[in-house]
Amino acid sequence: MVDNKYLDILELEGVAIVPSMLNQNQVDDLRSELELAIEEDAIHYPNVFDKGMVHNCMVRGSNMAGILDHPVMNAYLNKCFSDTCIVYAYQSSSLPPKQSNYGSRVHVDCPRFISGYNSNMGVMFPLNDFTVENGATYYLPRSHKLADLPAEDFFYANAKRAFCKAGDMILLNPRLVHAAGFNATNITRHALTINFCRSYMRQRFDFPRLISQDIIDKLGENGRRLIGMNVRMPTNLEEFYLPPEQRLYKPNQG
């Protein structure tokens, strides 16, 4: 299920593109859910700093939730990161026609540099082909080994582009210096971006409380673990002393 070739590339370059993770129907369904969420957010949150970025995609559509149980994604995460990891943030990155977005600044997705250790891992699902015209992600190869961000002119002089197909999966070391491009076409370029963290870290949102029971019930074992269901904190002794099968913070979570 996991091709070690991509893990080697990820380790060396800081990014690897695993082809054909989603079929065309899955891509179309995900894109429809995402476009609806973007329309809704434009009404409810019209003036936010990251306008157009949908947060907490797992509560904005059953297909976007279902991605968390993608068996091959989970197999890769187990190998290149951790089999007890959880979601830090699950959002989108869309480039509307003739625009860039909040992700277009030169940045890393994890502020911590710990030599030889990843506290986070990134996964991106392009929902359109990423091309030079529609703003394929710029990245500086091997920059995940750097403690500090390079100057912007050095970045663009040496950056490569993550050219890929809709339905591929981009594995991205969150210390890799990167930036979304500019979409010069007339069609929005969409992507889903998930940042995973270690099980002992805090998530950007309190997902076990944020996500409805209905959605949680539809998730599989991986999906439930990824939203943090195995590492919930008891609020009192009654919860602390629950029987093993009901424990909120399960054993062996890394």
Ligand X SMILES: O=C(O)CCC(=O)C(=O)O
d(Cα 57, Cα 29) in Å, to the nearest integer? 13
Closest C-alpha to 192, from 82, 3, 66: 66
Burial 208-245 (b: 16+ CB within 10 A, else e): beebeeebbeebeebbbbbbbbbbbeeeeeeeeeeeee
Sign of CA dihedral 186, 89, 168, 104: positive
- The position carrying tokens 């990161």 is 81
Chain residues 86-115 in contact with ligand X, contact rule CB under 6 A: 93, 103, 109
Is residue 144 near ligand X by the rule CB under 6 A?
A: no
Least separation in angstroms between residue 36's CB and ligand X is 19
Site string for ligand X, 122-141 (x = CB under 6 A): ---------------x----
**x/- letters, 160..179, toward ligand X (CB under 6 A):** ------------------x-
Burial class of residue 169, CB neighbours in 10 A (0-12, 13-18, 19+) = buried
The Cα–Cα gap between 17 and 124 comes to 9
Q: Which residue has the tokens 């080994």?
A: 145
Q: Which CB atom, from 184 or from 248, has the smaller least distance to ligand X?
A: 184
**C-alpha separations of 155 from 110, 125, 171, 176 in Å:** 18, 23, 20, 11
Minimum CB distance to ligand X, residue 68 (Å): 17
Nearer to ligand X, 57 or 229 (CB): 57
Residues in contact with ligand X, counted by CB under 6 A, come to a total of 8
Q: How far is the CB of 120 from ligand X (least distance, A)?
A: 11
Q: Which is nearer to ligand X, 109 or 168 (CB)?
A: 109
The nearer residue to ligand X, 193 or 230, going by C-beta atoms, is 193
Least distance (Å) from ligand X to the CB of residue 108?
A: 9
Judged by CB under 6 A, the residue of 63, 74, 134, 193 near ligand X is 193
Query: Residues 38, 180, 192, 227: which binds ligand X (CB under 6 A)?
Result: 180
With CA atoms as reference, report the closest residue to 216 among 93, 87, 103, 48.
Answer: 87
Which residue ranges make up the site for ligand X (CB under 6 A)?
93, 103, 109, 137, 178, 180, 191, 193
